[in-house]
């Protein structure tokens, strides 16, 4: 079960898999500058909390290297500005701010920021392995697992968070089937998770987001496993829109609900979920599918990209 890599690091640039084209086209795009990175994060060429943290780190490393190779700019390095722009590119996943802050600190210690970005990448990979091993212990043999969004190799640099646990549990022969929730409006479940599950040979069903309650009522789901974009100090966890409703449903049906996330997703500065910033994305994501309007032009739309699951609905948070 070899996973396709979400990011390739070359000598002085990176290539990322264009996730907007999946599952129909596998194409890497080259990122060579801070502005390339900001655009790729904003338009979701790359997505998933740990991966945007890694890519943001390379974004800052690009800005830093530009100065290293252009001595004329030395001493006037707008690192602060680059950090600010990167942090504003997507607000909810704290991994991004965490990685940027770490590189800013490394620059103060005169470290090589390119190497620091690579170190973050390797650490996140090892974190996936640890989460997979720990999480798999909680999975019972023959489990039918529901997951949302995409939390696998495409969202990380490794096996994934929630999908990493599923992969490891599958290797241990514990998984009967995975239900992938399609994850409207951007369809990360349908486009990305199904693609990964297929590549890993894990049996799966794709369901629309409104089918979960019915399946739980019929006793067809044994547990729910999701990732997180930011976990507050009290354990409240922000993740893809729709995660909260799955947690409520799981509680009602007495089904374990697990969150899987690395330490870089925990934001100890934020006391509870109500302080987590929730990204609002373009109304076009709801109004259209593949560029085709699905409702009346001009319809007003709400499009929060994430929601917060209160800690009392979470059976366990699996970290590295
Ligand atoms: O908007 P996205 O696709 O970046 O959202 C991703 C998620 O919500 C994931 O569940 C989360 O980042 C954890 S991924 C390991």
Name the percent of the chain lying above pLDDT 90.
93
CB of 51 within 6 A of ligand 1: the answer is no
H or E element, residue 107: helix 94-108
Q: Helical H runs in 201-283? A: 212-217, 243-252
* 78 band by pLDDT with thresholds 50, 70 and 90: confident
Phi/psi of residue 42, nearest 5 degrees: -65, -45
Query: What's this model's pTM, rounded to 2 decimal places?
Result: 0.96
Separation in Å, CA 111 to CA 84, 114, 142, 222, 255: 20, 9, 48, 47, 47
131-318 to CATH, choices 3.40.50.300, 2.40.30.10, 3.40.640.10, 3.40.50.10470 = 3.40.50.10470
CATH code at 7-126: 1.20.120.420
Is the pLDDT at 2 greater than 70? The verdict is: no
Is the pLDDT at 197 greater than 90? The verdict is: yes
* 3 band by pLDDT with thresholds 50, 70 and 90: confident
H or E element, residue 163: helix 162-171
Query: Residue 266: beta bridge partners?
Result: 231
Name the percent of the chain lying above pLDDT 70.
96
pLDDT tens, residue by residue, 285-310: 999 998 999 999 999 999 999 999 99
Would you call 121 helix, strand, or coil by DSSP? helix
CB of 161 within 6 A of ligand 1: the answer is yes
- Nearest residue to 131 (alpha-carbon basis) of 262, 266, 316: 262
Is the pLDDT at 77 greater than 60? The verdict is: no
Angle of the 49-69 helix axis to the 79-89 helix axis, nearest 10? 160
Residues 286, 301: contact at Cβ < 8 Å?
yes
H or E element, residue 15: strand 14-17
> What's the pLDDT score for residue 1?
55
- Nearest residue to 163 (alpha-carbon basis) of 130, 138, 196, 191: 196
Provide mean pLDDT across the span 53-59.
Answer: 98
Where do you find CATH 1.20.120.420 in the chain? Answer: 7-126
Where do you find CATH 3.40.50.10470 in the chain? Answer: 131-318
CB of 239 within 6 A of ligand 1: the answer is yes
pLDDT tens, residue by residue, 211-262: 999 999 999 999 999 999 999 999 999 999 999 999 999 999 999 999 999 9
pLDDT tens, residue by residue, 130-146: 999 999 999 999 999 99
Is the pLDDT at 122 greater than 80? The verdict is: yes
Provide mean pLDDT across the span 174-190.
Answer: 98
pLDDT tens, residue by residue, 259-289: 999 999 999 999 999 999 999 999 999 999 9
Cα 150 to ligand 1 centroid, rounded to whole Å? 6
Question: Is 159 in the active site?
Answer: no
Residues 15, 54: contact at Cβ < 8 Å?
no
Mutate to test the pocket of ligand 1, among 18, 228, 267 (most ligand atoms within 8 A of CB): 228
Q: Cis omega before residue 255 (within 30°)? A: no
> What's the pLDDT score for residue 66?
83
Catalytic hit among 36, 159, 222, 229: 229
- Chain-wide mean pLDDT for the chain? 96
Q: Cis omega before residue 23 (within 30°)? A: yes
* 67 band by pLDDT with thresholds 50, 70 and 90: confident
> What's the pLDDT score for residue 71?
58
pLDDT tens, residue by residue, 18-42: 999 999 999 999 999 999 999 999 9
CB of 174 within 6 A of ligand 1: the answer is no
> What's the pLDDT score for residue 4?
86
Q: Going by DSSP bridges, is the β-strand pair 306-309/237-240 parallel, antiparallel, or unpaired?
A: antiparallel
């Amino acid at each position: 079960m070899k996973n396709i890599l979400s990011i390739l690091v070359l000598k002085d640039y990176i290539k990322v898999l264009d996730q907007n084209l999946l599952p129909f086209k596998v194409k890497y795009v080259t990122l060579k500058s801070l502005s390339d990175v900001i655009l790729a994060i904003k338009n979701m060429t790359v997505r998933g909390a740990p991966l945007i943290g890694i890519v943001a780190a390379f974004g800052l490393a690009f800005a830093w290297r530009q100065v290293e190779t252009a001595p004329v700019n030395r001493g006037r390095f707008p690192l602060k500005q680059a950090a600010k722009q990167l942090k504003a590119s997507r607000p909810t996943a704290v991994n991004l701010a965490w990685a940027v802050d770490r590189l800013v600190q490394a620059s103060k210690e005169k470290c090589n920021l390119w190497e620091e970005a690579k170190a973050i990448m390797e650490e996140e990979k090892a974190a996936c392995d640890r989460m997979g091993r720990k999480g798999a212990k909680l999975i019972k043999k023959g489990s039918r697992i529901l997951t949302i969004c995409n939390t696998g190799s495409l969202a990380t640099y490794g096996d994934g968070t929630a999908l990493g646990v599923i992969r490891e549990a599958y290797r241990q022969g514990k998984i009967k089937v995975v239900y992938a929730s399609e994850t409207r409006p951007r369809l990360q479940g349908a486009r990305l998770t199904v693609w990964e599950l297929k590549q890993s040979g894990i049996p799966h069903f794709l369901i629309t987001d409104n089918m979960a309650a019915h399946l739980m009522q019929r006793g067809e789901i044994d547990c729910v496993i999701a990732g997180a974009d930011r976990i507050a100090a009290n354990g409240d966890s922000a993740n893809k829109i729709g995660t909260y409703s799955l947690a409520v449903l799981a509680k009602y049906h007495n089904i374990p609900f697990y969150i899987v996330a690395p330490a870089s997703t925990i934001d100890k500065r934020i006391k509870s979920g109500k302080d987590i910033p929730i990204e609002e994305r373009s109304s076009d994501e709801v109004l259209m599918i593949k560029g085709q309007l699905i409702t009346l032009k001009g319809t007003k739309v709400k499009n929060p990209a994430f929601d917060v699951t209160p800690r009392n609905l979470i059976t366990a948070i699996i970290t590295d």
